[in-house]
Amino acid sequence: MRPYHQIQIIECGEPLVEIPLEQFAVESPHPYEKLGATYGEHSPYYLRQSVIERLLEGQNYLQLLRPGWQIQIFDAYRPVAVQQFMVDYSFATAVRDKGLTAADLSPNQRQEIWQAVYEIWAVPSLDAKTPPPHSTGAAVDITLVDDGGQIVDMGSPIDEMSVRSHPDYYSNSDQPAAQQYHAHRLLLQEVMSKAGFHRNPREWWHFSFGDQMWAWQHNQSNPTHPVTAIYGRLV
């Protein structure tokens, strides 16, 4: 259970619709499909209608601050089956990176690796009360592309299982490169918060609107005006 799972979901029934990809930069081929994940009826480039509208607002605001820059969409809607695929893939990758094999892991090693995996990945829960954020169609993983078409360096790649993924990791560094990474992360945060999104406290790239995490963060800042989540699990 995460803190945001305490938030009630009152599903609004808004449809999942295709993102107008011509309005954004896009990670292609899709990173998880490239690994073998199967999405089924919908492609990964779907979100709830209002989430897309707010994403477009963020894109427009970015254009005002940095003409020619674009939001690049890395991942959006994610069925629970894909969440499970990526959790398993990340665990296997972490085991391999440590020079170990899954069959030979000690209980402590296994627990340590799973803990690192779940620092980044939501549990692929099928419980309607605790959906993974991406399975609601309300969460999107993004970065920025500059006016030359180059991906902006944020100081760590999306999905990295380390403390570098924390949004403020570089905030207190006096190194010029680190200060630039932090400035880029602040810019991404600014354009998305302007459009009504909240950022995952552990991931500089993950933003959502209307799901449990978003409602929980809203309520932390506005305890006298609490809200519920309006988007629940779709598939």
Which residues are marked as active site?
203
Phi, then psi, of 132 in degrees rounded to 5: -60, 135
Question: What letters, b where the CB count within 10 A reaches 16 and e where it falls short, cover 29-46?
Answer: ebbbeeeebebeebebbb
Q: How far apart are CA 190 and CA 184, in angstroms?
A: 10
**Contact status, residue 197 vs residue 188, Cβ threshold 8 Å:** no
Does an H or E element contain 59, and which?
Answer: helix 49-65
**Contact status, residue 218 vs residue 198, Cβ threshold 8 Å:** yes
- Distances 1 to 118, 126, 127, 132, 203 between C-alpha atoms, Å: 11, 13, 11, 11, 18
Question: What letters, b where the CB count within 10 A reaches 16 and e where it falls short, cover 115-137?
Answer: eebeebbbbbbeeeebbbbbbbb
Q: How far apart are CA 86 and CA 99, in angstroms?
A: 20
Token output for 48: 């709830």
